[in-house]
Amino acid sequence: MSNTERNYQIAKEMYAQLGVDTDAVLQKLTSVPISLHCWQLDDLQGFEFPDIALDGGIAATGSAPGKPEDREMFMRHLDQALDLIPGRIKLALHSIYMNKHGKKIGRNEITPAEFTEWVDYAKGRGIGLDFNPTYFAHPDYDSGSTLTNPDEGIRRFWIEHGIACRRIGDYFGRELGETCITNHWIGDGSKDITVDKLRPRLLLKDSLDQIFAQPLEHNLDSCESKVFGLGSESYVPGSNEFYTEYAAHTGRCIVCLDAGHFHPTESIASKFTSYLAFGDHLQLHVSRPVHWDSDHVVLVDDATREIMEEIASYDAYDKVHIGTDFFDASINRVAAMVIGARSARKALLLAMLRPIQELKRLEYEGNTTKRLALLEEAKMMPAGFIWDYFCMREDVAGSEWIRDLHTR
């Protein structure tokens, strides 16, 4: 018996005393998909315009060496990262990771033909795909006004992009046998005081109506809200209230909650049950805001743990679709993707290892003293032994991946 197996046996007995079945936890842990965003690897550069600067009020700061110079290097880095990430994975793409095969194709004209390599890649690795229209970083347009643009021609362009993207999402879902979530986020908003806040929202509503007009079997759309961004400090039409209302009224999309898109003391975890109470699905962008929507690498921190705990507490794995979203260019980008992905999965494990039944029982009894005591005692349980065993079973390196990391 290896050290890892021996340690697991010890931990398993300890958790059993708390009423937690670690074998069942591991079975669940490997099956819950985490949708990893591809754009950590190249600071959201994509392949469409290799030189264009990022805009839309988001930014990847830092200048670590090793940013992929071409598609081949990007794919090599992606393989390196995915090899180090245990558990069921989906990969979230942005439309700018398309392959135009040398043709001149507008972003409003893209089709599955520009993404066939991604489907082959996903099939080869046995992973699912999610998708994102890119309503920013376009040489001809200002991303501060896309789906809310009063210029009908420009708004039309972005509506067509949205429609084209969800058809590609449907193609992903059909090919891979797993529903694709197509996430719509726009950077629209204004830097300063806006007198008419209604008009942009009416335009956005109309744009979404047009984008979502056709039901698609293998695609599920989500809309991601925000409080503010760089250059949209004073007003963002795509707020959480707006999209929540839109989703509830139309039933045409679900809501995506990004951990960095709320006020600093607001936790997205505490919001889940307001949607679950109505049977709604949710998509998550697990991220790490530091003072603002900074998109730092996800860690096993309190905020991430609370997110996972809220899912585990109600067994809501089929309703809450976990995804990541961060872009840090200050450290090795492959390692950043690995750290964030492993941390998200570790936080999920910790949430699953909580003695949920016992905690609920104490709560229903009104024994808030014992509830608090047990919550604190549970934190010192040997979860690391379970994680190591999980990695071993998944045939993915444990903490020794750091030893093999060739970076400063």
Residue 147: CB atoms within 10 A of its CB come to 26
Which of 184, 201, 285, 371 is the binder for Zn ion (CB under 5 A)?
285
**DSSP secondary-structure letter at 269?**
G
Determine, following the binding rule CB under 6 A, whether residue 158 of this chain makes contact with ligand RNT.
no
Q: How far apart are CA 310 and CA 273, in angstroms?
A: 8
Among 157, 185, 212, 385, interactor with ligand RNT by CB under 6 A: 185
User: With the C-alpha atoms ordered 339, 39, 82, 165, is the resulting torsion angle positive or negative?
Assistant: positive
285 included as an active-site residue: yes
- 104 as an active site residue: the answer is no
Calpha distance 235→339 (Å, rounded): 34
Give yes or no: 379 in active site.
no
Structure tokens that stand for 21 in this block = 């079945």
Q: Which of 130, 170, 224, 310 binds ligand RNT (CB under 6 A)?
A: 224
Which CB, 38 or 84, lies closer to ligand RNT? Answer: 38
Question: Nearest CA to 370 among 378, 382, 379, 362?
Answer: 362
- Which residues fall within 8 angstroms of residue 133, CB to CB, at 6 or more apart? 94, 95, 161, 162, 164, 165, 166, 182, 184
226 catalytic residue (yes or no): yes
**Looking at residue 182, what DSSP letter applies?**
E
Active-site residue (options: 55, 178, 224, 388): 224
Contact 294, 288 (CB under 8 A): yes
Taking CB within 5 to 8 Å according to partner kind, which of Zn ion, ligand RNT, none is near residue 138?
Answer: none
Amino acid at 87: G
Q: Which of the residues 226, 281, 321, 346 is marked catalytic?
A: 226
Binding mask 260-299 for ligand RNT (x = CB under 6 A): -------------------------x-------x------
- Surface-to-core class of residue 34, CB atoms within 10 Å of its CB (0-12 exposed, 13-18 middle, 19+ buried): buried
Buried residues in 49-87 as b, exposed as e (16+ CB within 10 A) = eeeeebbbbbbbeeebebbbeeeeebeebbeebbebbbb
Q: Which helix (H) or strand (E) holds 296?
A: strand 292-296
Q: Which of 188, 325, 328, 388 binds ligand RNT (CB under 6 A)?
A: 325
39's CB contacts (< 8 A; 6+ apart) are 46, 94, 97, 327
The 89-128 contact track toward ligand RNT, x by CB under 6 A, reads ----------------------------------------
Q: Which is nearer to ligand RNT, 281 or 285 (CB)?
A: 285
CB 404 → Zn ion: shortest distance, Å?
A: 30
Minimum Å gap between C-beta 24 and ligand RNT is 33
Q: Which of residues 54-73 bind ligand RNT (CB under 6 A)?
A: 58
- State the DSSP H helix or E strand holding residue 188, giving kind and residue range, or none if neither: none
Count residues near ligand RNT (CB under 6 A).
Answer: 11
Spatial separation of the C-alpha atoms in residues 284 and 89, rounded to whole Å: 14
39 binds, among ligand RNT, Zn ion, none (CB under 5 to 8 A by kind): ligand RNT
Asked if 258 interacts with Zn ion (CB under 5 A), we say yes
Is 51 catalytic? The answer is no
Cβ atoms within 10 Å, residue 165 = 27
Cβ proximity to ligand RNT: between 4 and 267 the closer is 267
Q: Does 44 bind ligand RNT (CB under 6 A)?
A: yes
CB nearer to ligand RNT: pick between 58 and 82:
58
For this structure, is 130 an active site residue?
no
Residues 405 and 66 sit within 8 Å (Cβ to Cβ): no
Active-site residue (options: 42, 293, 309, 388): 293
> Token match 């919550």: residue?
375
Out of Zn ion, ligand RNT, none, what residue 58 binds, judged by CB under 5 to 8 A for its kind, is ligand RNT
261 is catalytic: yes
> Per the residue annotation, which of 42, 185, 321, 328 is the catalytic one?
185
Residue with smaller CB distance to Zn ion, 285 or 346: 285
Catalytic residue among 261, 281, 321, 346: 261
Residues numbered 310-329 forming contacts with Zn ion, rule: CB under 5 A = 325
Residues lying near ligand RNT in the complex (CB under 6 A): 39, 44, 58, 132, 185, 224, 226, 258, 285, 293, 325
Active-site residues: which are they?
A: 185, 224, 226, 258, 261, 285, 293, 295, 325
Residues lying near Zn ion in the complex (CB under 5 A): 258, 285, 325
